[in-house]
Amino acid sequence: MKFKLASTILGLAAGLYAATASVVSAQSPEEFYGANDITLVVGAAAGGGADFYARQFVPFWEKHIPGNPKIIVKNLGGAGGMKAAIEMAHLAPKDGTQISMLLRNNLYDPLVSTTPLDFDPREANWLGSLNKEIYTVAVMTRANINSFEDLQNNTVSIGATSYSNANRVLPAMMNEYFGTKFDIITGYNGAAAMALALEQGELDARMLPVDNLTGYGNEAPLFEAGLIKPVVQTSVESSELFPDVPNLFDFTDDPEVTALAEFILGPMEAGRPFAAPPGVPEDRVATLRKAFMDAAADPDYIKAMTEVANAPSPISGEAVQEIVERLYATPEAVLAKARPLMNPPS
């Protein structure tokens, strides 16, 4: 009798759950988001560049999502953004109430990590990216480095946070394949610490996004005062803000080196990527994607970003997905060159 009663209760619960799920799935995106807030998990600590971009964007995104849900930002840093990526893939609700802003390196981390990572970026529902990240080698003018050739002929101290961060990987790649002589000093606790080290003469150079020089970064005052300058751009595309600064690709004609640089720099084309977990209903993904691009094109958002950084250069969720697919088509020979640059010696 007890068994029959328990079975009946379980059956009723399952039926109630199925009926509730059916009602929820039958809601239009506007009805759903009119009744539910969204949690945006940023895969980096508060106060950094990723957090800055997310919080600047949220008020405009809220306006463009049908139903105008409130977007609540939470930070989940750790493991170069992979902690947030894995959490999104396996623990986040699959109904569209939680989305994530990941880090660009998460697009290829599972391909190159010597430690297995339980995240496949091809399965994420990419919503878009807020900008194309364009990095530079920025050198203090007191170092008297005026060209890429000077970097090849002189030892230049450059700061980095961790072994696998782009601020170490890029100069390491240039040392190995482009003949530069960077003395890479790893272990700085964030951007502010490296900015202070530049000012105090502890470092000569940093890998810096264009925005850090011309917009919101710690080094913007140094650039405005003529104390730091970009010597080379390390990006698939060059910034129109520095038309006279050469691109790293100008200094190699080796197709294998070019392929390696394209792989390492490729994710920067999706510099601030947003994603929804696998399994979110297609109509909600489509709604979030459209609202993302509408918000990124909002004149008020563009004005606000231009005042504090640079004009945004957004790309669609479909474009981010194409970048991921391109990365995953990289030949193993290229990945074999990339792995030692990105993983500390065992």
pLDDT by residue (tens digit) across 220-273?
Answer: 999 999 999 999 999 998 999 999 999 999 999 999 999 999 999 999 999 999
Q: Do the beta carbons of residue 99 and residue 288 sit within 8 Å?
A: yes
Average pLDDT of span 81-106: 96
Straight-line distance from the first to the last Cα atom of the chain, in angstroms, rounded to the nearest whole number: 61
Q: For the chain, what's the residue count?
A: 346
Q: CA 42, 86, 336, 183: dihedral to nearest 10 degrees?
A: 40
Q: Is the pLDDT of residue 23 over 90?
A: no
For residues 140-162, give the mean pLDDT.
96
Q: Rounded to whole angstroms, what are the CA distances from 218 to 101, 234, 272, 309? A: 22, 20, 19, 12
| Per-residue pLDDT at 114 | 93
Cβ atoms 115, 79 nearer than 8 A: no
Q: Which CATH architecture has domain 135-266?
A: 3-Layer(aba) Sandwich (3.40)
Question: Which pLDDT belongs to residue 122?
Answer: 98
Residue 109 identity = D
Backbone torsions φ then ψ of 186, nearest 5 degrees: -100, 150
- For 82-96, 117-131, 207-221, 304-318, which range has the lowest pLDDT when averaged over its residues? 207-221
Whether the Cβ atoms of residue 61 and residue 295 lie closer than 8 Å to each other: yes
Q: How far apart are CA 194 and CA 184, in angstroms?
A: 12
**Structural domain boundaries in the chain:** 35-131+271-342, 135-266
More confident residue, 244 or 17: 244
| 168 alpha carbon, distance to own chain's centre | 16
Of 201 and 19, the structure prediction assigns the larger pLDDT to 201
- Whether 72 and 38 have beta carbons less than 8 Å apart is answered as yes
Using an 8 Å Cβ cutoff, are 304 and 88 in contact?
Answer: no
> Tokens 């925005």 correspond to what residue?
211
Distance CA 172, CA 163 (A): 10
Give residue-wise pLDDT tens across range 285-336: 999 999 999 999 999 999 999 988 778 999 999 999 999 999 999 999 999 9
Q: Specify the amino acid at residue 324.
A: V
- Residue closest to 222 by CA, chosen among 138, 135, 308: 138
Residue closest to 323 by CA, chosen among 169, 119, 106, 78: 106
- Residue range 35-131+271-342 forms a domain whose CATH class is alpha beta
The predicted model scores a pTM of 0.85
Q: What is the pLDDT of residue 161?
A: 84
pLDDT (0 to 100) of residue 207: 95
Q: What is the pLDDT of residue 15?
A: 53
pLDDT in tens, 178-235: 999 999 999 888 778 899 999 999 999 999 989 889 877 789 999 999 999 999 999 9
Q: Give the pLDDT mean for 150-155.
A: 98
Same fold, 35-131+271-342 and 135-266: yes
- Residue 19, pLDDT > 80, answer no
